[in-house]
Structure 1
Amino acid sequence: MTTAPTTASQPAQAGSHTSESHGEAARRLLSQFPPRPRPSAWAATEETREAVLARIDRPPLRARVKTTHENRWYGARKILSWLETFPGATWQERWQATPANTLGLKWTDVVLPWLAERGESAREEALRSGLLCLFVADVIRPDLPFLLRIVQTRYWREAVVEHRDPAGFARIEESADPVVLSSRPGLKACTQIAMILLAKGGGVSDITVGDCIELRQTETVALEKRGGDSRFLFYSLLKDMGQFPPDAPATLRALTVFSGQFTPDQLVDRYQLECRPVRDLIVDYLSERQPALDYASFEDLARVLALHFWKNLETHHPGIASLHLDRSVAKAWKERLRTKTARRRMPDGTMVEVTTPRASYGSLLGFVRAFYLDIAQWALEEPTRWGPWAAPSPISGNEITYKKDIRRRKARMDQRTRERLPVLPALVTAAENCLQDARTRLEAIRQTPSGSAFTVLGETFTKAGKSTRLDASGSACAHDTSGRRHHFALAEHRAFWGWAAIEFLRHTGVRIEEMLECSHHSITQYTLPSTGELIPLLQIAPSKTDEERLLVVSPELADVLSAIVSRVREASGAIPLIPFYDGLEKIWHPSTPLLFQWSSGGQRRAVSSKTIRKAINEILHAAGLTNAAGQPLNYQPHDFRRIFTTEAIMNGMPPHIAQLILGHRNINTTMGYKAVYPEEAINGHRAFIARRRALRPSEEYRTPTDAEWEEFLGHFERRKVALGDCGRAYGTSCQHEHSCVRCPVLRVDPAQRLRLEEIRSNLRERVAEAEREGWLGEAEGLRVSLAATENKLSQLDDRRHRATTINLGIPTFREIAGRIS
């Protein structure tokens, strides 16, 4: 990995997403549910100045407070006089002709100078009250961007509720939860509904789906906000009261958060390819492959071909227009593809570019090779369409052998499992402690008055004075002694779902997307025909492999499911039906009683995978778990799936049963999830030794007596002789009657060479004496001893030569380094 500092201004990457991606869903919905057009004229805007003022001066537009009424009437009279100086047949046309419609809160800057020139008093607050009164009276219908900039107080909402359509807002109160409606998100939702009435006219019953979509689009641009759960509540309030048709979208979160599926053209055009023919070719290829792929794989294929392949080539080889790549061009492209560069923020705040090896390098090459081979095959079937693009593949079959990558990945995953399995009990305990601590803090802050200090778990906090969230007991926010803000309700929310996710994943081994899609309908039961016993089951919906499966609910998992159901169940006992978004297929599913759901901004929504990962990371941070290198240990949701598989097989579950539980199509995939432990090799070796011992006499494995042990130790002590060491086996006698010079198992000590040479000289003299005296038998025996002595001396010489380093002519590292430098 290499790093390099970067400047503050960096060009946007070709694959970066823009707001257009998120706006595609809104455009599709607007074509199905168009907003109401604003007419050019209507009765109220065509009235005379005197008629408008007279209507303001009597109910229902007349304010109850005398001061408020006087300010509104004064401001409206001055604004109407000012508008009369602009062209137009209606008050709406005159308003559109003024520059005030684009100034937002500074619209009074063009009215006050006009009043000053006429010598009239300038009461800015009265002017603002008068404009509000004209809007409520439907004399002027302002644009939504203008309203979003000036509607910043509760008086606008209260004026619309009281004077425009009190019956419509009363129906909203009847159908909505009073706690939700009285909270800050609920009041904000009523303000949004009021803005639609001011901009579009009519009452609450006249609001359409298109009006709501148009408001959310305008908020996205004007307020530069895409998220904010509370800004979607107004749509839910209207939908719950039966305002919209049955085919209306269940939520508007899709407009600025999720974009849905894209066509091949839209996926490829993200990367702005310059060569139009190649761009069209990639689009046609994706269109042919799309029916056989799920959307996630289809999107990956589009990104590889458009971004990592062709956009990469166009960036480094401008003007390239052919798939027939030169050898040097293909080689340079593959070298660039081996690494990836990302920008990271360092602890000191600077940004650096970090270059790391690309783990998916082999997969990317496989996509591109398949692209070339498919075109070559299709060229035989449709020469006119695909023939001009057939070209030799720049990637050979040897370059995409996955055996080494699979082995390396298997080794990495096994190491992850071996590190995380032993500390899983500690993680479970930490999750329980975090949940208990979070509940203790939340209960403490709910019992504390606003603005008061309280101490919990050894820490002192000061409760915030105002509520910013839905909480019947007031604010759940507090500041510690350093001034840092804490939200105990959200902390308890993440602690619970972190604990629930860890327990759910480790007891089932399911994927995280399968866990988040489990609903109340997934909990079922089976009756054994033989005994009538009820077996609780958990139904896992088809996910990655499109295979449905059933899991037996253990007592521990039953406790987790019971806690989840108790948490999400309403007062009526039913689990709310909510829609959820499939992040892989990029589609919205119908409303379902999901188990993993929570209330956010007054609306029920599914718990996201991002929330689950963040919750698990917070528990890990609290646990302080580290790996062998002392670095913080991280858990991914898929680690629990590997741990589940490893524990199941090691505890005796047959692999083919584990395959069915995990939903794998291939048993080799299941065995790939199982980590190999050194303990298995040790136990296997010990079992082999036990079987081998069973074949030998049992008396060989009895405990030796003291005499036998002394005899055993004495054997090694008696091995030492004058010339060296005797190597005979234990329990065997000397075969040469202690004639050590003749014995082949004698290991001569090099330090006794002089003694051996003396023995050789003595034997030569004795042989000469025996020959001189005629002792022929004695001479023959002495010659045998002399030959053995000569042999022992030769062995010593050989050992001395072998101990000397022999240069075979192979260059050493020092010579290679010197030659390179």
Structure 2
Amino acid sequence: MTNTTLLAKVPAQSQVLTFHGSHYKALQHTYPPRSVPESWEESADGLHTVLDRLNELFKGASENKRYTRWRGARNVLRWLEQFDGDTWQQRWRNSSLERNFGAGLPELEAWVRQHLDRVQDGVLRSGILGLACADVIRPDPAWLLTRRSRHMRQIVAECRDPDGFAALEAQAAPGIWDAKLGLQARNQVATIILAKGGKVRDITVGDCIELRGIETRVMATGGGRSLFYLWLKELEVFPPDAPATLRDIKRRAGQVSVEELVDRYRLQCRPVRDLIVDYLTERQPSLDYTSLEGLSRNLAQLFWADLERHHQGIDSLRLTKQVATAWKERIRTKTRRKRQPDGGYIEITTERQSALSVLNTVRAFYLDISQWAVEEPGRWGAWVAPSPVKESELSYKKQARRQKAKSDQRTRERLPVLPVLVEAADRQLKEARTRHEAALAVAPGATFTVLGKTYTRIQHPRWADGVIANTAYDQEGRRCTFGYAENRAFWAWATVEFLRHTGVRIEEMLEVSHHSITQYTLPTTGEIVPLLQIAPSKTDKERLLLVSPELADVLSAIVCRVRDASGTVPLVRAYDVGEKVWNPPMPLLFQWRTGGQSRPISETTIRRALDETLDFASLTDNTGQPLDYQPHDFRRIFITDAILQGLPPHIAQVIAGHDDISTTMRYKAIYPMEAIEAHRAFIARRRGTRPSEEYRRPTDQEWDDFLGHFELRKLALGTCGRAFGTPCIHEHACIRCPMLRPDPGERRRLVEIAGNLADRIAEAQREGWLGDVKGLGATLEAAKDKIAQMDAQTASSRQSIYLGMPSFGEIAARTT
């Protein structure tokens, strides 16, 4: 079910608040930035002393540069003298530049030209930079970031701390220091020194965190902005417990409290908000963070916030039937907004796949409160109310069947074309590598032809990782980054090969490290068997997989690619997006070097690389639509193929890491032909285990006896159900026999027989024939039991509902 609605060009504001996590807040509290004092020696000197210090500081520069900086500094100091303060730093903070750093230098330039000198704007900027380098003033980091100078990093390195910058250069990777990323990192270090004072080794973690926060506010986004922090950490400037990286420090903000999880949905009813917080706090010890976050979303957003949005002023869990029914209808669908090329938005309504999960969560919420109220009535008793979700509404059978059918169909479509995808991934990698190597072989600005296309390499590649960022323009003028294309093609190939040979989950694949490759020596032969250790993820159970020769080649290629110059796999820290925590440094196999530093590859990168390979392969389904692959499809394909090839399902369960074998069988796709072949094979195996004489050709006498048996089964009161070749155990006393299947149409005849038996029993009692009384009594009880069977069969047939469909007897003539 999909509905589309056109909306205005401006989207409505989200009802969900964003927040910074406790991890980021704890970092800010643990590592505060250095404060800038109001006074220090250099800032308290007089004007002439400051100018003399500038001459001494820049004595190694050319005469023109030295005079320009001296002249600009003199004019700036004369302008600062008109502001209040005992030091130049105090006057600077009281000036209009510090109060409104985004307005430029018009006021300063106008005053200087009117009272002192007709100087250019560049001279005044050079003077301010000179005063900052001499530590006379310490401008705000935001002021320095908005007025960056290409000379700042060089002046600071030469005049403030040449030894410190030399040590940083030793930490930089080859080719990074003078590349664009290296220049950016040096600018960041110089900015902190000018804003906070001191030298390179005086920089603190709080200074770096503060700078990154300011950069996100006043500058455009860009990659590699945490490289300077990595240099400082490797220089051992920071304490050992300092964060390993500042990458995504705000977006990957760590876990938050229960109150923050609920308050992001802006619930209006405070008592209900407190109840949900109290409920989640009670459940928190038994849940992981991912489950706790999902529970808060279901209760706070999808349940109560939705009720408040449609029923203003609601303040009770006791919902009327109309309110509960309307909410359950709304929860079955979800609406998302999609931006259009013209800037407008459309609303697309689709079926919510998790609707049953939301209903189950709400029902559990009500039932838990009712149960807890028995133990703590003062705390929970006031909120006891009937659940708006009935147990009959939580049937997962239909959803499970639909999901099984959908996943089986995906597997049946993708398993046959998997070899095509594997071949396409290998071919894409070879072509990307060929273009990459061809571009590296020519000089910048040169034109070259590779794989039938002509490219022109860029003139001045200044970005970091020059080999990876190998860039050229094609004949249409489009920019082609061969290095990054080759990098993505390699990891797409590695992903396809790794997933199809192991069947692991994508999060398990990304957590595989160099330490996961181990070996086992067989005690009988002494043969060394390579194994791959899979860290626990979903079921918290680690497992070992046998490394096939094909998988060994893939692992070898990955290890060779990620090794650094020293021959070791770099240690990187990965972020657990589920638990919102940073893992310890590990030699992860799925890592690459970007932004001047080694980083783990994210799920998003893997999925994008896989999509590029699918576009390259041009796979389509039966309807001609593009065939997509999700990482989890490889897991279903692996299990299906393994079982089809004869692997026992319980072994596949262990390899897949499932707790229940039924889960493994749900992953295994069912083929109609497979069921037919399996049944035929079963019959063949059964015949092979039975005596051959049982399958000899019957004689005419045996066949007549077989047909005669069925003729003897026809009785006046019904049908005899005894098996062929068995004698009549009641010597044809059919009324007493349990194998008699009475016909309801013969009830009148059986009633007459029962009446006759009653008369004969009365006669036998009158004549004293006690033996007949006992035998006829047993027959009468059996007759009554058969009559009861007839009545039950008749009553059961009358309970059926006629649907207007004719029976076979009504549309076809019967033949004997």
* TM-score bucket (shorter structure): 0.7 to 0.9
Alignment check: 8 A CA contact 1:465 1:475 kept: no
The 2-side partners of 1:380 and 1:332 are apart by: 31
Give identity over the alignment, percent: 55
**Partner amino acid, structure 2, of 1:174:** A
Shift of 1:601: 0.8
Partner of 2:208: 212
* Alignment correspondent of 1:671: 665
Match of 1:130 among 127, 131, 139: 127
2:9/2:343 contact within 8 Å kept: no
> Is the aligned partner of 1:633 residue 2:627?
yes
Q: In the TM superposition, what is the alpha-carbon distance from 1:693 to its structure 2 partner? A: 9.0
Give distance in 1, aligned partners of 2:549 and 2:116.
84
Deviation at 1:338, TM superposition (A): 0.7
Q: How is 1:271-670 mapped onto 2 (pairs within 5 angstroms)?
A: 271-346=265-340, 350-472=344-466, 476-670=470-664
**Unpaired runs of at least 5, structure 1:** 701-807, 812-821
Give, in angstroms, the shift of residue 178 of structure 1: 3.7
**Conserved 8 A contact 2:366-2:386:** yes
| 1:105 CA drift (Å) | 6.6
TM-score when normalising by structure 1: 0.82
Pairwise CA RMSD:
2.1
Alpha-carbon separation, structure 2, partners of 1:190 and 1:123: 28
In 2, distance between residues paired with 1:65 and 1:367? 74
Give the CA deviation at 1:500. Answer: 0.4
Q: Deviations over 1:293-332 (max 9, x none)?
A: 1211111111111110011001111111111111100100
The residue aligned with 1:155 is 151
Structure 1 distance, partners of 2:439, 2:449, is 9
Equivalent residue for 2:767?
none
Q: What does residue range 153-302 of structure 1 map to in structure 2 within 5 Å?
A: 153-223=149-219, 225=221, 228-302=222-296
Change (3 A) 1:474 1:650: closer
- Asked if structure 2 preserves the Cα contact closer than 8 Å seen for 1:102 and 1:146, the reply is no
Question: Which range is displaced more, 642-651 or 454-463?
Answer: 454-463
Aligned residue in 2 for 1:757: none
* Helix, strand or coil at the partner of 2:192: helix
**1:461 is paired with a residue of what secondary structure?**
strand
The answer to whether the 8 A contact 1:512-1:637 is kept is: yes
The answer to whether the 8 Å contact 1:467/1:474 transfers is no
Are 2:75 and 1:78 aligned? yes
Question: What letter corresponds to residue 89 of structure 1 in structure 2?
Answer: D
Alpha-carbon distance between aligned partners in 1 of 2:651 and 2:125, rounded to the nearest angstrom? 73
Task: Check whether the contact 1:208–1:244 (CA below 8 A) recurs between aligned residues.
Answer: yes
Q: Do 2:520 and 2:529's aligned partners in 1 also have CA atoms closer than 8 Å?
A: yes
SS at match of 2:444: coil
SS of residue in 1 equivalent to 2:271:
helix
1:253–1:692 CA distance, 2 compared to 1 (3 A): closer
Return 688-697 or 405-414, whichever deviates more.
688-697
1:21 corresponds to: 20
Q: Is the 8 A contact 2:468 2:487 kept in 1?
A: no
Residue number among 95, 110, 113 corresponding to 2:110 in the alignment: 113
Following TM superposition, by how much is the alpha carbon of 1:349 offset from its aligned partner in structure 2, in angstroms?
Answer: 6.0
- Whichever residue aligns with residue 156 of structure 1, its letter is M
8 A Cα contact 1:105 1:150, kept in partner: no
Could you list the per-position Cα deviations for residues 670-722 of structure 1 after superposition, in whole angstroms to 9, with x for gaps in the alignment?
1110000122123135446757998799999xxxxxxxxxxxxxxxxxxxxxx
After superposition, what is the alpha-carbon deviation per residue over 1:382-419, rounded to whole angstroms, capped at 9, x for unaligned? 11111111111000001111111111100100001001
Tell me the distance in 1 between the aligned counterparts of 2:803 and 2:510: 67
Range that drifts further, 153-162 or 42-51: 153-162
Distance in 2 between the 1:452 and 1:538 partners? 46
Residue by residue over 1:614-636, the C-alpha shift from the partner in whole angstroms, topping out at 9 and shown as x without a partner, is: 01000000100011121111111
How far apart, in 1, do the equivalents of 2:67 and 2:445 lie? 38
Q: Report deviation, 1:484.
A: 1.7
* Alignment map for 1:741-820 (pairs within 5 Å): none
Change (3 A) 1:355 1:809: closer
Q: What's the CA shift for 1:37?
A: 1.2
The one-letter code of the counterpart of 2:73 is: A
Distance in 1 of aligned mates of 2:620 and 2:693:
48
2:13 equivalent to 1:2: no
- Matches of 1:348 and 1:428 in 2, distance apart? 39
Relative distance call for 1:627 and 1:12 in structure 2 (3 A) is: same
**Preserved contact between residue 43 and residue 88 of structure 2 (Cα < 8 Å):** yes
Is the 8 Å Cα contact of residues 104 and 150 (structure 1) preserved in structure 2?
A: no
Q: Is the 8 A contact 1:462 1:480 kept in 2?
A: yes
Q: 1:427 to 1:47 in 2, by over 3 A?
A: same
Deviations 1:657-678 (A, max 9, x none): 1111111111110111000012
Change (3 A) 1:168 1:280: same
Change over 3 Å in CA distance of 1:623–1:26 after alignment to 2: same
Count of paired positions: 698
**1:468 Cα shift?**
4.4
Q: 1:667 to 1:473 in 2, by over 3 A?
A: closer
The corresponding residue for 1:42 is 40
Flag the 1:594–1:138 CA change in 2: closer, same or farther, 3 A: same
> Do the aligned residues in 2 keep the contact of 1:598 with 1:604 (CA within 8 Å)?
yes
Counterparts of 2:7 and 2:439, CA distance in 1: 45
Deviation, structure 1 residue 351: 2.7
4+ aligned runs moved over 6 Å, structure 1: 691-700, 808-811
Q: Distance in 1 between matches of 2:102 and 2:385?
A: 63
User: Post-superposition shift, 1:81?
Assistant: 0.6
Structure 2: which amino acid aligns with 1:45? S
Structure-2 separation of matches of 1:575 and 1:355:
47
Equivalent residue number for residue 743 of structure 2: none
The answer as to whether partners of 2:472 and 2:479 remain within 8 angstroms in 1 is yes
Secondary structure, aligned partner of 1:21: coil
User: Cα distance, 1:440 vs. partner?
Assistant: 0.7
Alpha carbons of structure 1 residues 321 and 65: separation in structure 2 relative to 1, 3 Å: same
Contact 2:72 2:128 in 1 (8 A): yes
Residue in structure 2 matched with residue 706 of structure 1 by the alignment: none
How far is the alpha carbon of 1:578 from its aligned partner?
0.9
For residues 257 and 90 of structure 1, the distance between their equivalents in structure 2, rounded to whole angstroms, comes to 40
